[in-house]
Amino acid sequence: MNCHNLPKRIAAKISTAPHPQGCHLWTAYKKSPPSLAYGWVAWKGKQMHAHRLVYMLLVKRIPPQLDVLHTCDNPSCVNPKHLYLGTDTDNVADKVARGRTKARRGEASNMAKLRAEDIPIIRASTETHAALARLYGVSNVAIRYIRIRQNWKHIP
């Protein structure tokens, strides 16, 4: 990375020491927890992720609807060669494809309102979606997705 094209105060916060993946690491402030160790910097009166700032300064403007994503899975990395633009949907898909998420299904999800034993009952019921939704405290759409096996697929 050519740090000469960065303002001195920004360049001083980047380590370009050899790294196994070729990452250039942000050495200044990072918010905790360490697993989310994205660098943060104040720029023109605004707090922002360091990798976004470096991308903006060295690559191009970032459209408002896009994020700056990492190819290296290293949140501290600000190497522009490891950064690319994408949507939030792209970011989630990338996370899943690389196995960086532990998707919790069914009752293991902290969002679950149903139990595994409810699912076969819902699927076998002749009640309407609305009636079952009221009974279980979920939406009509949740009941529909269970019945068409779009949700709770792991339950026969």
Backbone angles phi, psi at 150, to 5 degrees: -85, -30
> What's the CATH number of domain 3-97, 3.90.75, 1.10.10, 3.40.1350, 2.40.50?
3.90.75
Residue-wise pLDDT for 40-93, tens only, equals 999 999 999 999 999 999 999 999 999 999 999 888 999 999 999 999 999 888
Asked if residue 87 lies in contact with residue 66, where contact means CB atoms within 8 angstroms, the answer is: yes
> Which of helix, strand or coil describes residue 151?
coil
Residues in Cβ contact with 83 at an 8 Å cutoff, skipping those fewer than 6 apart: 51, 54, 55, 59, 68, 69, 70, 71, 77
Provide the 10 A C-beta neighbour count for residue 38.
18
Domain boundaries, the chain: 3-97, 106-147
Q: How far apart are CA 49 and CA 32, in angstroms?
A: 13
pLDDT band at residue 31 under the 50/70/90 scheme? confident
* DSSP single-letter state for residue 39: B
Confidence at residue 4, expressed as pLDDT on a 0 to 100 scale: 62
Give tens-digit pLDDT for 95-122.
Answer: 888 877 766 777 777 678 999 999 999 9
